[in-house]
A and B are shown apart, each in its own frame.
Chain A
Amino acid sequence: MIEEIKDTETFKEKLKNIIACIKSFCIFNSGEPTAFNKYRYRQLQVKLFLFIAVLSLIPLILVSTSSFFWLQNTLSEDFNNQLRSQLEGVKNSIESFLDVKLSALRFVASSYNQDELLNPNKIRDIYKNLNKEFEDIIDLGVINANGTMESYVGPYNLLGSNFSKQFWFNNVIVNGVYISSIYSGFRNVPHFIILIKKDLPDKGSFLIIRAAVNVKTLNAILSPIMLKQEDDAFLIDYNGIIQTPSRFHGKLLDEYKLAPPPRQNTVTLESRKEDRVPYMQGYVYIKNAPWILNAVIKSLEKRSLATISSGEILLIIFGSVFVVFIVSIRMSQILIGRIKKSDREREEALKEIEHTNKLASIGRLAAGVAHEINNPLSIISQKAGLMKDFIDMSSDMDTNKELIENLFTKDKFIELTNGITSAVDRCRTITHRLLGFARRMSVSIEELNINELIKEVLIFTEKEISRRNVQIELDFFEKLPKIKSDKGLLQQVILNIITNASDAVDDNGLIKINTYQEVENSIWISIRDDGHGISKSQIKHIFEPFFTTKGKDKGTGLGLSISYGIIKKLGGTLEVQSDVNKGTTFYINLPVEANIEI
């Protein structure tokens, strides 16, 4: 009997050893794996860099493109104006050149009478005087109303020639003045003629004063147009015959490939394309002469902004892009650095949490076990103590022997030893269960019957639940397949949720635990209580560490966050559904074959 009492002391020692053992078990090993590995940081940094770079480049590209086009437009507008005013100037020069010639001939027509004009000597004098002023006048002649050249001075033998069949003859009779297109004539010298009609006093009679003009001066007038190598400026007549030398569009008196444009008094500019190369066509009609001043400007490319300042533009663009890239790289590096740092801190905090939770679990377990074992120990202690009382009393001379003998019978002795044995059995059950529980704390995958596992977990909560008269209703799917998972971790989760459920319900409350299967490769456990429920604002934080709705002395706020981590680790899901004042249900979905992230 005394040995039995001593045994209770050694049992305490054993218990201490068991608790020490639990401390070394892995209850929850690294719940959250590292959030980002190196590759993912790299990927994130690249994405971030691209995002910042694109975000910065878009406005840069927009602004520079719009500025470029605006400037290009302005430049081209400026060029067009310049071209227009040059053409206008040349047109004016040609017109005044012609005006001077016409005035001189009109002066001749009005200053001299018929006899003087038809007198060969006089006409020679007139020509000489004219030639002094205008060297480009080649010859001078007077044609009568029949079209016959009656007097002539000049290098050709035109005296007596009849011009009545010439197309201009009737023209000059009608209009009084005529300027011809340029042609090469008999001696192949390009020239044009100016004709002035002089009405004679006899009614219907007239004379035509004819002067041929060399085109050299005309060519000189065209030269001031500032042309680049690709450009061309020349005169054409109404028939499209080239009137002055052209660089690229044919020889003098060749036909120009483009039909003459419609008549207009002002300069007309047209943007055209030849072999996809844009060029500018400018033309203007010359007053009093059958000529069109024509300019073909193909040096547009050279005049564009891109060509003029391509070096500077490229430098600015590449400079800006370079700066954007450098800044983007630096910014993404800084941001990723900060994310890495906060991840590291989070991981450290999580490790801290796990550690705290581990200690809290061990503490709870130790207190629970101590309490469970202290009760049968005190029975043993009292039963043994009573036996000792009897022995002490029987050896005590003063005690009523009869009374002792009545009390201390063989049956009583057997009853007491049976009591001790059954208390020891209770202790053994507890310690064996504890050993089983502890052994499964280390991470190991085994075949599990979830229904059995839940029943085992319920034994731990039995005392508290029966004290508060909480009803447990089990509805197990009998054909639930065995799953491959970690027993210790699952026990921890289920214990956690059942403890929460029993904390949530009032005395006499109800907790329903169901197991069921929807699809072949996974199983479900639902734990429903009819407690106070969780509000919508609280439910979204329920799996966050340190979040608790229990009082400070009751909950650490870690149980559900750790449970969530464990179920995730076991390849399952943990969900919650709650209605205020109706209750809360936790749903655990577990794969039949755990796919564990380690």
Chain B
Amino acid sequence: MICDKVLLIDDEEDFTATLAERLKLRGYDVSIAGTSDEALSSIREGIPNIIFMDLQVPGLSSSDLLSALKKAAPESRIIILTGNADETIKQKTLDQGAYDFILKPFKIKEVINRIIDACQGRHPSQTE
């Protein structure tokens, strides 16, 4: 199965654009959403394999957006990308159905590895 469709949800346009470009260079099919609404409409156009999601996106709250995404794209693996290092928030999002959690700033290699892991269904706890 091809696992190259990635959706980036973050209101930091400068960040998503650059990351998208880097992922595209590595052969991924990347789309970008700056708000909750954009993210959900992007899913309606095509279900991504992997969704990278910031915790503070204009529109819905993080937990509402998470459950909306899970509902709209149940097969997609959602990876949280955030600058907030709070352990309780990390655990909360994982409990709510996020597949993985990456703390900003990160190296591209780390992102790629996590995408591969998620695509292969390897849980982060198994890789660490």
* A367 pairs with B84, CB closer than 8 A: yes
A378 to B56, CA, bound (A): 15
Q: What's the minimum C-beta distance from B8 to chain A, rounded to whole angstroms?
A: 11
B122 interfacial by beta-carbon distance below 8 Å: no
| Given contacts A378-B106, A467-B56, A553-B88, A370 and B18 within 8 Å (CB-CB) | no
A240 interfacial by beta-carbon distance below 8 Å: no
| Given contacts A372-B83, A375-B15, A467 and B103 within 8 Å (CB-CB) | no
Closest to A463 in B: B56
| Given contacts A8-B105, A385-B107, A386-B21, A378 and B58 within 8 Å (CB-CB) | no
A466 to B34, CA, bound (A): 14
A143 interfacial by beta-carbon distance below 8 Å: no
Q: Looking at the complex, which one of A367, A463, A464 makes contact with B85 (CB distance below 8 Å)?
A: A367
Closest to A393 in B: B25
* Interface size, B (range): 20 to 34
Residue among A378, A393, A419 with the highest chain B CB neighbour number at 10 A:
A378
* A379 pairs with B85, CB closer than 8 A: no
* B105 pairs with A374, CB closer than 8 A: yes
A463 to B106, CA, bound (A): 22
Closest to B88 in A: A553
A-B contacts counted at CB < 8 A amount to 76
* A379 pairs with B58, CB closer than 8 A: no
* A419 pairs with B18, CB closer than 8 A: yes
A469 interfacial by beta-carbon distance below 8 Å: yes
Q: Looking at the complex, which one of B25, B85, B103, B104 makes contact with A389 (CB distance below 8 Å)?
A: B25
Mask for A405-427, Cβ within 8 A of B = 1, else 0? 00000000000100100110000
Mask for A254-274, Cβ within 8 A of B = 1, else 0? 000000000000000000000
Q: Looking at the complex, which one of A371, A382, A389, A507 makes contact with B83 (CB distance below 8 Å)?
A: A371
* A371 pairs with B22, CB closer than 8 A: no
A381 interfacial by beta-carbon distance below 8 Å: yes
A380 interfacial by beta-carbon distance below 8 Å: yes
Residues of chain A within 8 A of B58, CB atoms compared:
466-467, 469
Closest to A466 in B: B58
B86 interfacial by beta-carbon distance below 8 Å: yes
B128 interfacial by beta-carbon distance below 8 Å: no
A372 to B84, CA, bound (A): 8
* A381 pairs with B25, CB closer than 8 A: no
Residues of chain A within 8 A of B15, CB atoms compared:
375, 378-379, 382
* B104 pairs with A374, CB closer than 8 A: yes
Q: What's the minimum C-beta distance from B54 to chain A, rounded to whole angstroms?
A: 9
* A378 pairs with B104, CB closer than 8 A: yes
* B85 pairs with A381, CB closer than 8 A: no
Mask for B13-26, Cβ within 8 A of A = 1, else 0? 01100110110010
B12 interfacial by beta-carbon distance below 8 Å: yes
B108 interfacial by beta-carbon distance below 8 Å: yes
Instruction: Give the A interface residue count (CB, 8 A).
Output: 31
Residues of chain A within 8 A of B106, CB atoms compared:
378, 381
* B22 pairs with A375, CB closer than 8 A: no
* A378 pairs with B83, CB closer than 8 A: yes
* A382 pairs with B22, CB closer than 8 A: yes
Residues of chain A within 8 A of B19, CB atoms compared:
382
Q: Looking at the complex, which one of B14, B84, B88, B108 makes contact with A371 (CB distance below 8 Å)?
A: B84
* A381 pairs with B107, CB closer than 8 A: yes
A293 interfacial by beta-carbon distance below 8 Å: no
A196 interfacial by beta-carbon distance below 8 Å: no
Within 8 A of A (CB), among B8-48: 12, 14-15, 18-19, 21-22, 25
A383 interfacial by beta-carbon distance below 8 Å: yes
A373 interfacial by beta-carbon distance below 8 Å: yes
A371 to B56, CA, bound (A): 11
A377 interfacial by beta-carbon distance below 8 Å: yes
* A373 pairs with B83, CB closer than 8 A: yes
Residues of chain A within 8 A of B18, CB atoms compared:
379, 382-383, 385-386, 416, 419
Residues of chain A within 8 A of B12, CB atoms compared:
375, 378-379
Within 8 A of B (CB), among A359-409: 367, 370-375, 377-383, 385-386, 389, 393
Residues of chain A within 8 A of B21, CB atoms compared:
386
Closest to B54 in A: A375
Residues of chain B within 8 A of A379, CB atoms compared:
12, 14-15, 18
* A385 pairs with B85, CB closer than 8 A: no
Q: What's the minimum C-beta distance from B4 to chain A, rounded to whole angstroms?
A: 17
Mask for B42-71, Cβ within 8 A of A = 1, else 0? 000000000000001110010000000000
A367 to B106, CA, bound (A): 18
Q: What's the minimum C-beta distance from A490 to chain B, rounded to whole angstroms?
A: 27
Residues of chain B within 8 A of A416, CB atoms compared:
18
A366 to B103, CA, bound (A): 16
A469 to B60, CA, bound (A): 10
A381 to B103, CA, bound (A): 13
Residues of chain A within 8 A of B83, CB atoms compared:
370-375, 377-378
Mask for A6-24, Cβ within 8 A of B = 1, else 0? 0010000000000000000
Residues of chain A within 8 A of B22, CB atoms compared:
382, 385-386, 389
Residues of chain B within 8 A of A375, CB atoms compared:
12, 15, 83, 104
| Given contacts A367-B84, A370-B85, A377 and B14 within 8 Å (CB-CB) | no
Q: Looking at the complex, which one of A367, A374, A385, A468 makes contact with B103 (CB distance below 8 Å)?
A: A374
Question: Which 4 pairs of residues, A with B, have the shortest CB-CB distance?
Answer: A374-B83, A378-B105, A378-B104, A381-B105
- 9 extra interface residue pairs, beta carbon distance < 8 Å, beyond A375-B15, A467-B56, A469-B58: A367-B84, A371-B84, A374-B85, A374-B104, A378-B105, A380-B105, A382-B22, A467-B57, A468-B61
A residues near B, CB below 8 A? 8, 367, 370-375, 377-383, 385-386, 389, 393, 416, 419, 422-423, 463-464, 466-469, 507, 553
Interchain residue pairs with CB less than 8 A apart (5): A367-B86, A370-B85, A379-B15, A386-B21, A467-B57
